[in-house]
Structure 1
Amino acid sequence: MSENIHICSLSKKENSGFPKLPPNASCGSRFIRRLRKFVAINPNNARCKTYFRNRSGLITEAKKYAASPYFFVIHPFSNCHAFLEVTFFVAWLYSLFLSPLVVFYPVPNSDTLHDKVEYYFVLNVQRLLVISFFFTGYVDKKSQNIIIEPKKIILRYLRTYFIFDLIATGSVTSPVEEYVQKNYAEYFYFSVKSAEYFLIVLCYYVRFNTVTNYMTDIFQILKLPRRIQSILGHVLRTYLILHLFTCMLYGIPRALYNDHWPEESWLTKTRPRPEDGTILPKYLDCLMVASCYFFGASHDLYNVDLPNEQLCLSIVTLFGRLYTLFLLADLLRVFGIAQVAESNYEQELCCLEEYMTSKNLPEKLRKRLRNFYEYKLRRRLFNEREIFSTLSEHLRTELFLFSARKLIQRLFVFRSVPKPVVSSLISLMKMEIYSPREIIIKMGTTVENVSFISSGTVSVINQEGTELCHLEDADEFGIISSVTDDKQIYQIEAVEPTEIIYINKQYFLNILHNYGDVLAKMDEMVKQRLARLMKIQEHIKKGGSNIISDLRNGNLLERFHKRPLIVIE
């Protein structure tokens, strides 16, 4: 077990944000609760680890969603959203592969197995997905906020992919096709059918980025190594692009020639010829030509003389050159072959690696340093001290006030004094980041600071080394020893990456000297917290479990509990 992982000894709490059901709850209530949890945020979702900096932020988001009136909105980090991602990936991947292949069939409107599967199953699934997108939350890329308001979700979908999804699923083109088939000649119907086919394929490929993003999310759910994810992702992307160009090399000439192939066409020199019914040899031949022109390999088997075919191959070559450069650059980055960093953040990480190697640090300590850098810098490098030095005193205070807005809103001290006093307190505060299992305050030491948790979780540990409770966002510690002038009687340890804002004890008391009622309230809070911690400690000494506590916690009637058998003679 890694040293920087906190092993919690406290009972596991419900993190869904929904109130716990009574033991005698009906089956309907239990089903509704499970359904709500299915569309709510899942704390174990793979994307939560990259989005939230700590677990306390995740729990806050879960409570926010549970308290919102938008119970019908699917959270972007929910199990339901993960299921929709997998369904979308499979359905769109099926269409991205098979829809372009229609050009290779001898008769465009032939009743194939693909047509039946697509018409009776795939299209209906895709239409249900289109409807679900009106109720699916998303993460705003600019602000990095989670959006669950229905109005914003609907407007965003209408502005982006709705029209393309509507056309791709045949909701618009099918009625038009039926109307043309009834009222116009067969030749015109064939032209409309060909145009409809090209439009549908393009609309499917508009979602190419979404498919690859969902593929990455699925790989994260499967917990594949990063390099394996990169290789599989590039293989699938490359093949889908080549597949589109393969079908384009055959489909565009076929539409132009209307199945009357000229002898000068390179496709007439293939075996079998275009007019033959075999699909696989034609597809493989076109795939080989597309791959050669795409990657710039030599291909002298066929001479391309017709202008429209030359234009198609020129497009393939141009796009292939650009894509190959991107592919090589990304592979070099992933496998660490290229030593040139893409950003200042990566340069800083390279310096960190060199430093750790020169000092011959153990792997556990190296991992802690990497996690600290990733948490603090958020993959962005900036000189915070230099930025602050260029700001005025007023702007620095405003910036710190914004960073500490959660504390100001929730803490009694900040809510009970005027704004100038709050500004004075904030201006004297400093920030520190602690890694998991890092000791913030040692037991028996004299605490000189009053600390507040900006984000994260810390544990309170007694003299016996027993974990008593957790403190989370906007909780304070150090006040017990600061107010009573006693030494610290509990050890404070970080559970996860935690941001602490602290102020010198003497400065804190001097600023609040004229607010006796606030200090009296703080003294009362200290006594209440001490009493609560002592009660927990006594409870643990007695065995940590009894019938009354189990009944209050809902454990006695909701799950089996082994107890010693009492025999009365």
Structure 2
Amino acid sequence: MLTGHRCTLRHHSATHLPPVLPGTSRWVKLWRYIRTLMLVDQSHPETKNYLKSYAQICNENKRQVTGCPYVIHPFSRFRKRWDLVVFVALTMHLLILVFDFTFLIFKSVDSYKTAIVFDLFLCGILVVEIGLKFITGFVVEGTNEIVLEPNRIALNYLKCCKMIYDLVAALPFILALDYFDRSFYTYDTNGYLLFMIFLYAVNIFRFYDIFRYFQILPRSFRVSEKKMLIMKVVMNTFYVLHWSACLRYILPQLAIVVEPNPEDIFSLGNSLFKTDNFSVGHFLVDVYWRHYRNEDVINYPVSEQRTIINPPTFKQYLSFYYYFRPVDQRKYDHSFVIMKLDTLRKDSSILDNYLASMMATIKLSLHTGRDDCAGLHLVNNMLTTFILIGGWIWFTYIMLIMIRTIISAEISQTRFEEFINEIKAFVFNTRLSDLLKWKMLRHFTVRFRKSYFNEHAIMEMMSDNLRRNIRLEICQNLLKNVELFHDLPLALMEDIVDYLQYEIYLENDVIIEAGTRGEALYMIASGSAAVYSRGGTELGHLIDGAHFGEISLLRKDQRRTATIIALEDCEVYKLSHDHFQNLIQPHSPLLLKMHKLAEEKTTNEQKNRDKLSEEEVYDNFLQ
């Protein structure tokens, strides 16, 4: 964080972990390295949003090391890398799971053994993630509190069945593939059908979890929120289409076996379960059984006679279908049978079948047609209706997102970009140097943090009481550190806050210089600064909450005894001598007490100038 500064002082480790001493064993070094991975990482994209300065990061690490040493910080280096691993594992698991249950039963048994092993590996990663969530801190929405206490972490994860929801995603459902494969080829597809609907119901909305893990990657590369929103829509759309396309392919095939004569559902006939009727579903299953399972009667036994047609060609299959299926009943499944038999004739690959189903799903989602190729049976009608309604809802959502992105999303960021463009136009017309241009742009970036706001207009819309309370809450921790203000009444403190001036000093900016006259008190809200003597010796560092120049509030002619240079972008509040004197004049007893305190500190510095300890240097260097 302190880039460009080469510190010459001894300083404590930012991790607050014990140092590595000579002779330390490799296991101790390894354990120390693991613990550093669990602490706050400055490069984590969320760190700056919650911990603004180096000092806050150090304090957070100290809190974790001393109080919760075995907890993983949500902004740690390990969590950043592990989230990417979980993103890949969760995405591949959810995409492969439905894909395998949809297409692999139409391939040889050997083709899905590798898929089972790979998916089990992915499930193992997800199970590890469930365990890690019990020892990973979290941020409380609304308050931005970072929770590291193990008991609160566990309670937060267990409430609302979060763990059960994650556990369902990590279950190795792929192990049931062989069971449902046997069920399909023995005409028992009821359980298979219900299982696929169950998978869809519990996993279709998991795109929220996928993107939550993914967003760490674009934020690490400082991708804008607008681009992240576009990526979110694209990823979520593909995820939903993928699941819908797989279900559109497999559900009609399973349903046609469950409903051998779909026309009876509409005609309310009583021949649905007659064994002498020709079953299109069983006919197709027998064709697949011969083509993909090599007429294996041992592993796929059935109680009825299978349909075996010789020679097993497209023409013979079609002739058999036309012979046993009456003309007036073909309208229910003719297109579906032709499509499936043609797939066998072409020996279409899994990719070809998947892409064809995807295109049909997109067509339905865009309301450009109705899908009758899978027959008119009940399940297909329900599936088609669901895709139509779901497609309408989803693409309406996409349109709303696009409108929101264009018109109202990121208004403050857009206004900031417009403001920056004005700065660039100003620099161009005034022909300022590149260095000044960079400083101006950096100054306003630090001031607004890429989100423009009109502070004056916001504060003007508030009541005086609310405005004072806000300013006092912003600066009260800074004012408490100033010794001169310890006994001041609250009303006077509120008056002082009204006169504080907010200033920004960029890295390497000189805040004050030795030998100049002191005219103000400075309080560092965030950032770090280095203290140098007149001879250029580095004396120490000032961090968040530090102040200097309090004696200047009482003595305007006091000379500065040190130089202060910003080590990073610093946010500073300044109180001038004139403003303070105007406020304190009516309180003569307080003013007299302050002068007495200042005299004692000044006299003490003059008597012991050459004997000051490091702590006293910090207390007296700018009086």
The answer to whether the Cα contact below 8 Å between 1:41 and 1:79 also exists between their aligned partners in 2 is yes
Q: Which amino acid aligns with 1:89?
A: F
Q: Which amino acid aligns with 1:513?
A: L
- Partner residue, 2:43: 44
- Partner residue, 1:156: 156
Going from structure 1 to structure 2, the CA distance change for 1:529 and 1:362 (only over 3 Å counts) comes to farther
Deviation at 1:393, TM superposition (A): 4.6
1:472 partnered with 2:471: no
The answer to whether the Cα contact below 8 Å between 1:457 and 1:472 also exists between their aligned partners in 2 is yes
Going from structure 1 to structure 2, the CA distance change for 1:104 and 1:506 (only over 3 Å counts) comes to same
Structure 1: distance between partners of 2:490 and 2:197: 64
- Partner residue, 1:565: none
The answer to whether the Cα contact below 8 Å between 1:103 and 1:247 also exists between their aligned partners in 2 is yes
- Partner residue, 2:389: 315
Deviation at 1:459, TM superposition (A): 2.8
Q: Which amino acid aligns with 1:53?
A: K
- Partner residue, 2:274: none
Q: Deviations over 1:54-95 (max 9, x none)?
A: 33333333333333x222221011122123202211210111
The answer to whether the Cα contact below 8 Å between 1:96 and 1:201 also exists between their aligned partners in 2 is no
Structure 2: distance between partners of 1:209 and 1:301: 29
Q: Which runs of 5+ in 2 are unaligned?
A: 259-280, 285-331, 618-623
How many pairs were matched up? 520
Structure 2: distance between partners of 1:203 and 1:233: 20
Alignment of 1:184-333 (within 5 A): 191-221=190-220, 236-258=235-257, 260=281, 263-264=333-334, 266=336, 268-269=338-339, 271-272=342-343, 279-294=350-365, 306=376, 307-315=381-389, 317-319=391-393, 321-322=395-396, 324-325=398-399
Secondary structure class of the residue paired with 2:525 = strand
* Identity rate, percent: 19
The answer to whether the Cα contact below 8 Å between 1:448 and 1:482 also exists between their aligned partners in 2 is yes
- Partner residue, 1:84: 82
Going from structure 1 to structure 2, the CA distance change for 1:169 and 1:384 (only over 3 Å counts) comes to same
Deviation at 1:126, TM superposition (A): 1.3
Structure 2: distance between partners of 1:269 and 1:418: 87
Going from structure 1 to structure 2, the CA distance change for 1:64 and 1:367 (only over 3 Å counts) comes to farther
The answer to whether the Cα contact below 8 Å between 1:443 and 1:490 also exists between their aligned partners in 2 is yes
Moved more, 451-460 or 222-231: 222-231
Deviation at 1:32, TM superposition (A): 3.7
Alignment of 1:72-221 (within 5 A): 72-101=70-99, 102-106=101-105, 112-119=113-120, 121-157=121-157, 158-159=159-160, 161-170=162-171, 191-221=190-220
- Partner residue, 1:494: 566
- Partner residue, 1:7: 4
Moved more, 92-101 or 462-471: 462-471
The answer to whether the Cα contact below 8 Å between 2:94 and 2:203 also exists between their aligned partners in 1 is yes
The answer to whether the Cα contact below 8 Å between 2:20 and 2:29 also exists between their aligned partners in 1 is no
The answer to whether the Cα contact below 8 Å between 1:5 and 1:437 also exists between their aligned partners in 2 is no
Secondary structure class of the residue paired with 1:206 = coil
The answer to whether the Cα contact below 8 Å between 2:193 and 2:251 also exists between their aligned partners in 1 is no
- Partner residue, 1:451: 522
The answer to whether the Cα contact below 8 Å between 2:184 and 2:192 also exists between their aligned partners in 1 is no
Structure 1: distance between partners of 2:361 and 2:187: 30
Secondary structure class of the residue paired with 2:565 = strand
Q: Which amino acid aligns with 1:450?
A: L
The answer to whether the Cα contact below 8 Å between 1:85 and 1:214 also exists between their aligned partners in 2 is yes
Structure 2: distance between partners of 1:151 and 1:275: 60
- Partner residue, 2:271: none
Secondary structure class of the residue paired with 1:146 = strand
Q: Which amino acid aligns with 2:356?
A: D
Structure 1: distance between partners of 2:415 and 2:554: 46
- Partner residue, 2:327: none
Deviation at 1:133, TM superposition (A): 1.1
Q: Deviations over 1:503-537 (max 9, x none)?
A: 2235657465243575467548967899468999x
Structure 2: distance between partners of 1:427 and 1:507: 10
| Match among 560, 573, 576 for residue 504 of structure 1 | 576
1:377 partnered with 2:448: yes
Deviation at 1:323, TM superposition (A): 5.2
Deviation at 1:454, TM superposition (A): 1.5
The answer to whether the Cα contact below 8 Å between 2:204 and 2:240 also exists between their aligned partners in 1 is no
Q: Specify the structure having the higher radius of gyration (Cα).
A: 2
TM-score, reference length from structure 2 = 0.69
Deviation at 1:405, TM superposition (A): 3.7
Q: Which amino acid aligns with 1:505?
A: H
Secondary structure class of the residue paired with 2:343 = coil
Going from structure 1 to structure 2, the CA distance change for 1:108 and 1:61 (only over 3 Å counts) comes to farther
- Partner residue, 1:441: 512
Deviation at 1:212, TM superposition (A): 1.7
TM-score, reference length from structure 1 = 0.75
Deviation at 1:392, TM superposition (A): 4.8
Deviation at 1:286, TM superposition (A): 0.4
Going from structure 1 to structure 2, the CA distance change for 1:193 and 1:501 (only over 3 Å counts) comes to same
Going from structure 1 to structure 2, the CA distance change for 1:461 and 1:188 (only over 3 Å counts) comes to farther
Moved more, 29-38 or 241-250: 29-38
Q: Which amino acid aligns with 2:88?
A: V
Deviation at 1:357, TM superposition (A): 1.6
Q: Which amino acid aligns with 1:263?
A: D
The answer to whether the Cα contact below 8 Å between 1:304 and 1:310 also exists between their aligned partners in 2 is no
